[in-house]
Structure formats: structure tokens, C-alpha cells
Amino acid sequence: MPKKIFEKGNPGGGNSKKHPNGYLTVILKKILENKISINDSRVAAILADDSNPKKQTTVKQAILARLAYNAMDKGDNEAIKEILNRADGKVKEQIEYSGNIINVNVNNLDKKTEQELLNVFSKKGLSGNT
């Protein structure tokens, strides 16, 4: 029987190299900072800059310019929503609640304390489960 590639306790397979946390983020940041030329004149117009006649920009700026172009020219609702959420922050959702608010830190509860809380919840008609 051939050796299994993915064995229990080894989710990356047998020959995988371990990378520190955030390794992909480091690579992505390097990619986004690369300089490129923009060939699409409509997108380049968004980044119009007299000091940059060769239309050189970073990958990140090109992506944002394409997103802005899609929002403005194509009326892409997802692009519009993304730009506004990034620029102004997401709109806070309002939640109405009528009743008593109980603040409980549930970290490191022992069984007795947990049972006492469940009893309080049940007396108030609450389930205590989330």
C-alpha cells in the first residue's frame, strides 16, 4: 500500500516547508508594491499624473483604480459598496433590545459558576445558550 500524502497530524503533507505566520502576507505586500505599466487608458486616466507620463504605478494602485473605474463607469454596486466601506467605514447596524443586559465574562468559569449562571438565565426565561 502506498504511503499517504496527508497523514493524520501532518496537514501540510510530508514534504511541506513550514513558514512563519504571515508569510503569505509578506509575499502579497511585495507583489502589491511592484511597479507596472497600465495599458488600459480608461483606468490610467483615474491615476492621471503629469509627473508620470509612462503610466507607471504599483499593483495596489492599479487594482484600486480598476475598482474605481468599475464603480464609476460600469455602475458596479459591489465596487461602489467596497469603496465606500473602505473610505467611510461600514454603516453601524442598530439593534434594539428591551430587557436586562447582563455582562458576563465566560472565560475560565468553573462548573459551579457556569451552573449558577444557567440557573439565573432559566429564571429570567433565557436559554443561556448562544
Task: Tell me how far apart the alpha carbons of residues 126 and 130 are, in angstroms, rounded to a whole number.
Answer: 10
Look at residue 92 in the predicted model and tell me its pLDDT.
73
Mean pLDDT value across residues 62-78: 90
Collect all residues with Cβ–Cβ distance below 8 Å to 42 and sequence separation of at least 6.
69, 73
DSSP assigned state of 32: H
The answer to which of 43-47, 95-99, 101-105, 118-122 has the lowest mean pLDDT is 101-105
- C-alpha distances in angstroms, 122 versus 19, 44, 97, 119, 126? 48, 63, 18, 5, 5
Report the chain's mean pLDDT, rounded to a whole number: 76
* pTM score of the predicted model: 0.50
